[in-house]
Structure 1
Amino acid sequence: MSTTGSGPGTRPPTIADVARVAGVSRTTVSHALNGLGKVDPRTRERIKQVASELGYRPNLRAQRLRRGEAKAIALASSMPFAVAGGPSRLGFYMEVAAAAAESALLHDYALVLVPPVQSGSALYSVDIDGAIVVEPDAEDPAVAALKERGLPYVTLGRPVSPAEDVPYVDLRGGLVAELLLAHLHEQGARRPALLIGSGQRHSAVDARAAYERVAEEHGWEPLVATAPEAGGEQAGYERCAALLAEHPGIDAVCAMVDAFAVGAVRAVRDSGRAVPDDVMVVTRYDGLRARTCEPPLTAVDLHLDRAAADAVTLLLGRLRGSEDRASEGHGDDDRAGGDTGTGTGALVTTVPEPRVIARASSLRGTAGAGT
């Protein structure tokens, strides 16, 4: 009497059971079910049918050990939780993580979420095949750890280190800043200030360059302030309060970090001014902070779900040893894969054009929201 099956007291079917019923060797079963070797197509189909009828499920752990694969990728960043997640743990980083995990699972990979505050050290201990680094800083500790381990990686956001030549998803940091500044100008801003993180992430570097271009175009006095990311909302509050004291004519603050923007709103109010009538406030990321701030913050749809999925595709392309395959299938769905002419030679995927979500923090005398 057979002991295989799914009822009480039965054992799960093994590869030997499949081989016995199909009348082939265990090696042939292994090759047929894993797409290896030269197995006659009719034999392959018969083996798959027998495996299905018996309820055979491969031992994934054994497969991974044989192949030397973890079938897992990591999501890592050096951004502190004060800006990446905040008290709710539902910020920028977690939105990327949710989309990346879903995309990875579709390709039979698990996603390992490495807490940003431990990204450098934790990457030495997790069993992974590669990683996605979110918005790396210059001399990024997560990148350094991956390089030391010899693991492939891609980045979500343009890497700023000159020596970096890895595939990345372009989050179009300069365009995002230009769109926010254009919105402020349309709403009457004539002396806007830029508030960015004090590091060298692309979102800060590209925003500064864009702001300086737009300021020159409109004849604005350039006012750029920085604050430490680890300080979160309080750092944004303190830096904005100092800005308003030093330059009382400021009529708008473009705070690229959403935690800074929430702090800026509080600083404006504590200075005796009103948002948006006296000082408008806008931010980059359309997340929970932007939507629940009072007033709600004008922000930008960065298409993070698409960006995260594209980052997974780029990384899997590296793991397969062919970066060109990472951009296949993107031609007709707004995912512009390929070299964007950055001069680095790296494979670049560009997200669809970002869109400003206009809200009460910057709408002067205008009902409703959205542009």
Structure 2
Amino acid sequence: MQSPAPPKSRPTIADVARAAGVSTTTVSHALNDKGYVDPQTRQRVKDVARELGYRPSVRAQRLRTGEARTIALLSSMPFEIAGGASRLGFLMEVAAVAAAAALTRGLALVLVPPIMAGRLPLEQLDIDGAIVIEPTADDANVAHLQERGLPVVCLGRMPGNDALPYVDIHSFATTALLLRHLHEQGSRQIALLIGAQQRNSYVESRAAYEQFCAEHDMTPVIGVADEAGGEEAGREACVALLQQHPQLDGLCALVDAFAVGAVQGIGDAGRRVPDDIKIATRYDGIRARSCRPPLTAVDLHLDETASQAVALLLDHLAGKGGAASATPPGPSLVIRESSAAVRDDA
């Protein structure tokens, strides 16, 4: 039996230089469009490289430039919100588009999953920059990245840090959209349920809610839950709201984990969704779709949001400075059973 032929060795930059009759430095400049190389020579080098099947070594480029050519995507939300039943839905939706957008620009993307507590071990990552989803005002991960001198772009403004570039996720407009919908479906005593952490989305949602209450002569009722408690924190907060305000007939729970817990809490109180209380949440993910009843939510156009975040980060990686923010399309309502108007003949 004939032994298999040895694998064909990968052509090197020296092979290209010999075939083209030039130095390796000229090959490097020609292929990377750097330095001065006669146009005819540049084209000859590129033709030879193509004929030989030469591809530059990414590892060698990294060693030469000191760049990792890699960016990280991480969520500031704790595992109890971002993980669990949601299967990292929000993070994975952003990651799928961000990875493709980064790859077309010659970058790899590292997805950093949330952990149960504490700061992520980011010092183990060799990266050039990062996209952070919804940072808190005192976000330890952002602080660490900035201490390393790495460019950071946020999905959602970082509270108290207007210098950090961000992509607007329309928290004010999203909350206003959900409140208008609940009101149109017949709810007249609507509560707001937000997280206890200092996130810009909660700040904007509270402002939108208070404005809505003023416009509709409605007394504000705001519940607060700790994100670390996940769905159970949402359940407990909802039970407390109903005990203190039994007249409530609508609930805007910004976090999907809180919304799912609130549905459980409403059932514990002997009330029904949507017959007695209509409920809506922000993110149209697995939790919203698999909840019983399914939750009215919002399409946040995360594909466009992720693409803009990568583009914004690349501008800052290139030292261009770039825009301080980007604005993707506004939210679109996805109406489901949790907020359906109750028919008179039901």
Report the TM range for the smaller structure's normalisation.
over 0.9
Report SS of the residue matched to 1:73: strand
2:336 — aligned with what?
Answer: 359
Is 1:181 the counterpart of 2:172? The answer is: no
1:134 — aligned with what?
Answer: 133
Separation of aligned partners in 2, 1:172 and 1:69: 33
Q: Report the CA distance shift for 1:9/1:279 in structure 2 as closer, same or farther (over 3 A).
A: closer
Separation of aligned partners in 1, 2:303 and 2:97: 5
2:108 — aligned with what?
Answer: 110
1:231 — aligned with what?
Answer: 229
User: Cα deviation per residue 1:148-179 (whole Å; 9 max; x = unaligned)?
Assistant: 11111111111112x44021100111000000
Comparing 280-289 with 164-173, which one deviates more in the overlay?
A: 164-173
**Cα shift at 1:365:** 3.8
Is 1:159 the counterpart of 2:158? The answer is: yes
Separation of aligned partners in 1, 2:180 and 2:311: 33
User: Cα deviation per residue 1:288-330 (whole Å; 9 max; x = unaligned)?
Assistant: 1111111110000101111011101000100001133xxxxxx
1:348 — aligned with what?
Answer: 325
Report SS of the residue matched to 2:119: helix
1:67 — aligned with what?
Answer: 65
Q: Which residues in structure 2 correspond to 1:312-331 (within 5 Å)?
A: 312-324=310-322
1:77 — aligned with what?
Answer: 75
**Cα shift at 1:276:** 0.5
Equivalent of 1:31 in 1, 5, 29: 29
**Cα shift at 1:90:** 3.4
Letter in 2 for 1:40: D
Report SS of the residue matched to 1:87: helix
Separation of aligned partners in 2, 1:287 and 1:314: 25
**Cα shift at 1:86:** 2.4
User: Do the aligned residues in 2 keep the contact of 1:120 with 1:144 (CA within 8 Å)?
Assistant: no
Equivalent of 1:195 in 190, 193, 196: 193
Is 1:48 the counterpart of 2:46? The answer is: yes
2:85 — aligned with what?
Answer: 87
Separation of aligned partners in 2, 1:30 and 1:205: 52
Comparing 82-91 with 297-306, which one deviates more in the overlay?
A: 82-91
Report SS of the residue matched to 1:226: strand
Separation of aligned partners in 2, 1:216 and 1:207: 14
Separation of aligned partners in 2, 1:121 and 1:94: 18
1:296 — aligned with what?
Answer: 294
Residue identity (%): 59
Runs of 5+ unmatched residues, structure 1: 1-6, 325-337, 339-346, 367-371
Separation of aligned partners in 2, 1:279 and 1:242: 15
User: Do the aligned residues in 1 keep the contact of 2:78 with 2:227 (CA within 8 Å)?
Assistant: yes
* CA root-mean-square deviation: 1.4
Letter in 2 for 1:130: G
2:209 — aligned with what?
Answer: 211
TM-score by length of 1: 0.88
User: Do the aligned residues in 1 keep the contact of 2:249 with 2:277 (CA within 8 Å)?
Assistant: yes
User: Do the aligned residues in 1 keep the contact of 2:86 with 2:287 (CA within 8 Å)?
Assistant: no
1:146 — aligned with what?
Answer: 145
1:342 — aligned with what?
Answer: none
Separation of aligned partners in 2, 1:362 and 1:22: 70
Report SS of the residue matched to 1:116: coil
**Cα shift at 1:360:** 0.5
Letter in 2 for 1:142: N
1:125 — aligned with what?
Answer: 124
Comparing 201-210 with 81-90, which one deviates more in the overlay?
A: 81-90
Separation of aligned partners in 1, 2:221 and 2:320: 45
Letter in 2 for 1:137: T
**Cα shift at 1:232:** 0.7
Is 1:241 the counterpart of 2:242? The answer is: no
Runs of 5+ unmatched residues, structure 2: none
Equivalent of 1:259 in 257, 260, 263: 257
**Cα shift at 1:88:** 4.8
Separation of aligned partners in 2, 1:260 and 1:140: 21
1:272 — aligned with what?
Answer: 270
**Cα shift at 1:82:** 1.4
Separation of aligned partners in 1, 2:74 and 2:50: 38
1:17 — aligned with what?
Answer: 15
User: Cα deviation per residue 1:117-137 (whole Å; 9 max; x = unaligned)?
Assistant: 277341122100011111110
